[in-house]
């Protein structure tokens, strides 16, 4: 039977010391790993609460530098511009060019590390005398918004554990950037929706085509924004805002693809596919509907206020304008007169040659009245063969004389069986508002009475002849 010789006491004691040291080292490593895992979890949670991209980068460089024991942490965007940093001095950002070289991260190797000699280090970073670098590629939806750089001045390399954890951190930063972009896009969409709602409400209450076109152009310049916008109808601008120079322009139809209500011409339009372009196209749709509504109101208003046969203002519109003029006169405005004209021989033409001849005659009378009055007043047809003229300022009697002259001249009517020459003549009376108090109905009755007096005198004169 063989016996195993006992180990010397000194050897056993040394082995025990080594085992204890190894155990302590493992415990320290475990504590460090647990602490790093805790800080990594805290970083992940912190980044999950940040929605602004710039804040994500600012928060990340501080936390990551501490997490990996780095002296410098920096984030460069895809264009190589420094967007966030920790541990750097006051060197202007514009002078901080990125690290270059063959050992930069890529989609195949998203995290790389090595001694500083493996990289092309710019002068501003070399001044900090770094010994070891690591870079992680940020990736968002197959796009790289930049990369994260860490530097240590001590001669402590970034090991495999560092790189594995850095890959996780870079992935979480990328996710936070993506969330931030989605948040910003969502907020922008909400803002655009609110703007579109406000512009739609503003345009919906407008009943004038010119005003609707102008408001649309102003909304496009203000809210899209663009450098200039103009609304065209029939090739003529009816609303314009911003610049009048359209070197690079975009043309959108208003009221369907065919642009049935005009076109919106834009200078400095946003690129296709952007939120601004989408908003612009929505504005064009809303603008087309607003113009359609305003045009419909305008047509209805014109039908309600215009004599269908002659195109002159009708009784309703004339009385509105007369009432307004009376208020101005009461407030010390210009002299106010009303001319009342009645055709002397209209009934004879109508009875002898028919209503078609009567209509043609009334249309020509309207044209002659407009020519005789010009800018001196507003012509209207009250009904039948009665016409009125509203004169503010000027010589109303002189206008009445011109009206009488053109009515006394013969008319040539283009009838189906050939031209028809007729002479009807007209009686014209003038009613003038006295200074101070005046009344629209009284003024119109005075003009009517003066016209009747003139008509009786003309009949008497004709009877004597």
Shared fold status for 20-180 and 315-464:
no
Q: How confident is the model at residue 299 (pLDDT cuts 50, 70, 90)?
A: confident
Question: Nearest to residue 361, comparing CAs of 348, 346, 375, 378?
Answer: 346
Residue 129 has pLDDT above 50, yes or no: yes
For residue range 144-182, what is the model confidence (pLDDT) as tens digits?
A: 888 899 999 999 999 988 898 888 888 888 888 888 888
What is the distance between the alpha carbons of residues 451 and 459, in angstroms, rounded to a whole number? 12
pLDDT tops 60 at residue 328: yes
Would you give the distance in Å from CA 458 to the centre of its chain? 64
DSSP label at 313?
B
Q: Is the pLDDT of residue 425 over 90?
A: yes
Q: Which residue has the higher pLDDT, 177 or 24?
A: 177
Q: Using pLDDT thresholds of 50, 70 and 90, give the confidence band for residue 116.
A: very high
**Dist. CA 318–CA 339, nearest whole Å:** 12
**pLDDT averaged over the chain?**
86
Average confidence (pLDDT) over 250-277: 84
Q: In terms of pLDDT, which residue wins out, 387 or 143? A: 387
| Burial track 71-90 (b if 16+ CB lie within 10 A, e otherwise) | bbbbbbbeeeebbbbbbbee
Strand order across the beta sheet in which 263-267 lies: 236-242, 228-233, 263-267, 249-253
pLDDT tens digits for range 337-380 = 999 999 999 999 999 999 999 999 999 999 999 999 999 899 99
**All structural domains of the chain with their residue ranges:** 20-180, 205-304, 315-464
pTM recorded for the entire structure: 0.60
**Alpha helices per DSSP H over 49-159:** 53-67, 123-126
- Other beta carbons within 10 Å of 303: 10
* Choice between 11 and 175, residue whose per-residue pLDDT is larger: 175
* Each residue's pLDDT tens digit, 60-109: 898 889 888 999 999 988 888 888 999 987 655 546 777 776 677 888 88
The CATH homologous superfamily to which domain 20-180 belongs is GAF domain (3.30.450.40)
Element housing 265 (H / E): strand 263-267
Band of residue 141 on the pLDDT scale cut at 50, 70, 90: confident
Alpha-carbon separation of residue 182 from 33, 175, 365 (angstroms): 34, 10, 69
- Number of residues written out for the chain: 465
> What mean pLDDT do residues 115-144 have?
89
Q: To the nearest whole percent, how much of the chain has pLDDT over 90?
A: 47
Q: What's the confidence (pLDDT) of residue 383?
A: 93
The pLDDT value given to residue 220: 93
The superfamily in CATH containing domain 315-464 is Reverse transcriptase/Diguanylate cyclase domain (3.30.70.270)
């Amino acid at each position: 039977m063989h016996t195993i010789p006992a180990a010397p006491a000194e050897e056993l004691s040394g082995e025990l010391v080594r085992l204890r040291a190894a155990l302590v080292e493992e415990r320290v490593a475990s504590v460090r790993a647990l602490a790093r895992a805790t800080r990594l979890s805290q970083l992940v949670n912190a980044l999950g609460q940040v929605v602004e991209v710039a804040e994500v980068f600012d928060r990340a460089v501080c936390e990551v530098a501490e997490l990996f024991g780095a002296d410098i942490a920096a984030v460069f965007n895809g264009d190589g511009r420094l967007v966030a940093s920790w541990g750097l001095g006051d060197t202007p950002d514009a002078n901080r060019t990125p690290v270059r070289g063959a050992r930069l991260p890529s989609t195949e190797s998203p995290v790389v590390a090595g001694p500083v000699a493996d990289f092309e280090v710019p002068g501003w970073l070399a001044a900090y005398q770094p010994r070891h670098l690591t870079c992680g590629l940020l990736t968002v939806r197959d796009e790289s918004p930049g990369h994260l750089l860490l530097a240590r001045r001590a001669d402590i390399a970034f090991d495999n554990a560092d790189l594995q954890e850095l890959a996780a951190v870079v992935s979480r930063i990328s996710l936070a950037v993506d969330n931030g972009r989605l948040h910003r896009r969502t907020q922008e969409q909400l803002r655009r929706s609110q703007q579109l709602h406000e512009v739609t409400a503003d345009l919906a209450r407008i009943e004038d085509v010119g005003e609707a076109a102008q408001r649309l152009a102003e909304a496009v310049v203000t809210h899209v924004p663009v450098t200039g916008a103009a609304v065209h109808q029939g090739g003529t601008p009816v609303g314009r805002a911003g610049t009048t120079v359209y070197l690079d322009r975009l043309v959108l139809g208003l009221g369907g693809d065919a642009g049935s209500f005009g076109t919106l011409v834009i200078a400095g339009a946003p690129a296709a596919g952007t939120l601004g372009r989408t908003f612009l196209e929505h504005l064009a749709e809303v603008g087309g509907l607003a113009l359609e509504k305003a045009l419909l109101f305008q047509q209805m208003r014109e039908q309600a206020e215009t004599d269908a046969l002659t195109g002159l203002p009708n009784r309703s519109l004339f009385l509105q304008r007369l009432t307004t003029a009376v208020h101005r006169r009461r407030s010390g405005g210009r002299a106010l007169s009303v001319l009342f004209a009645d055709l002397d021989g209209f009934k004879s033409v109508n009875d002898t040659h028919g209503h078609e001849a009567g209509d043609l005659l009334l249309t020509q009378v309207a044209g002659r009245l407009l020519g005789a009055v010009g800018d001196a007043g507003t012509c209207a047809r009250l009904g039948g063969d009665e016409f009125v003229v509203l004169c503010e300022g000027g010589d109303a009697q002189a206008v009445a004389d011109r009206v009488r002259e053109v009515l006394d001249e013969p008319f040539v009517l283009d009838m189906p069986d050939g031209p028809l020459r007729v002479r009807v003549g007209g009686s014209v009376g003038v009613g003038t508002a006295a200074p101070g108090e005046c009344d629209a109905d009284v003024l119109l009755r005075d003009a009517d009475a003066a016209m009747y007096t003139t008509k009786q005198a003309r009949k008497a004169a004709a009877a004597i002849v």
